[in-house]
Amino acid sequence: MSLAPRALRRAASAATVTLLFTAAACAPQPEDKTDDKASGSASKACARGELRTETAGKLTIATDEPAYEPWFKDGKPANGKGFESAVAYAVAQRLGYGKGDVVWQIVPFNKAFAPGEKTFDLDINQVSISAERKKAVDFSSGYYDVRQAVIALKGSKAARAKNLDGLKGLKLGAQVGTTSLNYIDDVVRPTRQPAAYAKNDQAKSALKNGQVDAIVTDLPTAFYITAAEVTDAKIVGQFENQGGTPEQFGLVLDKGSALTPCVTDAVDALREDGTLAKIEKQWLSDAVDAPVLK
């Protein structure tokens, strides 16, 4: 059976990389000149006319449905409102694509970083960068430093928890495949089996209905849930970053994508020129400090 064009391109690229690596290993490398050439090649490859996107002249960006606030506004990723929508369009602009050149695609959260060829150029959906996920997909550099937080109904036993020990005997829940669920398993280590839900909406319903004592989400989402969706709930506290390294959201790309260095350069430039900070201030200003659970 013949290979698809994209697969052939990848096979050819792999062979080329192997030959180049062999040649490089056998020949002396003048440091300054080599670095200059590599930099020039990367810049050229990231020029809009050189980008190999899913659809020529377009940038296909994926996210899940529903698109939650404060990451998106009114459930419409294409409107440019909400933190991640604004970041997506800022990255697109750095890559040379106007708003009309961006095509949005619906991709379930877990499918975005599952093994297999992707139908999108990049995905933005609060996906935390991890070594395990990097086995299946590429990530850009981080566009947001995040912490996980615990939400419980006001007046409940869970709402009175002051530390990790106060959470251990509770029934906790989170969306499946998320670092929120990982924090329950690896940090809290509860005595009761945590509940895993396909969507955050299901986790919120379980909290409302008393099926779980508390749920875990990222901190900005926790502020939005308690302010606008489950108003009789409160943020119990947030977790410290594991190992002292900030958890970061990254843009997801196909494994070995030629776009990865270009998208990373775009994110880095947006961080350096203050654009990411401005977008964060505009859309995540309510995500202030919460008590740290230790």
Helix (H) or strand (E) holding 247: strand 247-254
DSSP letter string, 206-222? HHHTTSSSEEEEEHHHH
Mind listing the pLDDT tens digit for each residue in 64-121?
999 989 999 999 999 999 999 999 999 999 999 999 999 999 999 999 999 999 999 9
Neighbours of 281 (CB within 10 A): 10
User: How many angstroms separate the CA atoms of 188 and 238, rounded?
Assistant: 12
What are the CA-CA distances from residue 70 to residues 126, 189, 280 (Å)?
11, 29, 10
Which pLDDT value is given to residue 30? 37
Chain centroid, CA 237 distance in Å = 22
Which pLDDT value is given to residue 241? 81
Structure tokens at 101: 């050149």
Structure tokens at 202: 């299901």
Per-residue pLDDT of the chain (294 residues; tens, 9 = 90+): 433 434 434 434 444 434 333 333 333 333 333 344 334 445 667 887 789 999 999 999 999 999 989 999 999 999 999 999 999 999 999 999 999 999 999 999 999 999 999 999 999 999 999 999 999 999 999 999 999 999 999 999 999 999 999 999 999 999 999 999 999 999 999 999 999 999 999 999 999 999 999 999 999 999 999 989 999 999 999 998 877 678 999 999 999 999 999 999 999 999 999 999 999 999 997 655 688 899
Which pLDDT value is given to residue 168? 97
Which pLDDT value is given to residue 240? 87
The DSSP code for 137 is: E
Which pLDDT value is given to residue 283? 94
Place of tokens 């490859």: 45
Residue 159 burial by Cβ neighbours in a 10 Å radius (0-12, 13-18, 19+) = middle
Which pLDDT value is given to residue 48? 77
User: How many angstroms separate the CA atoms of 147 and 151, rounded?
Assistant: 13
The pairing of strands 148-153 and 233-239 is: antiparallel
Which pLDDT value is given to residue 12? 41
User: How many angstroms separate the CA atoms of 117 and 57, rounded?
Assistant: 20
Which pLDDT value is given to residue 290? 83
What are the CA-CA distances from residue 94 to residues 3, 142, 152 (Å)?
33, 16, 40
Which pLDDT value is given to residue 248? 95
Question: Would you say 92 and 61 are in contact if contact means Cβ atoms under 8 Å apart?
Answer: yes
Could you tell me the pTM of the whole model? 0.78
CA-wise closest residue to 268 among 35, 134, 95, 129: 95
User: How many angstroms separate the CA atoms of 88 and 234, rounded?
Assistant: 30
Sheet harboring 137-146: ordered strands across?
Answer: 102-106, 59-63, 122-123, 247-254, 137-146
Which pLDDT value is given to residue 43? 62
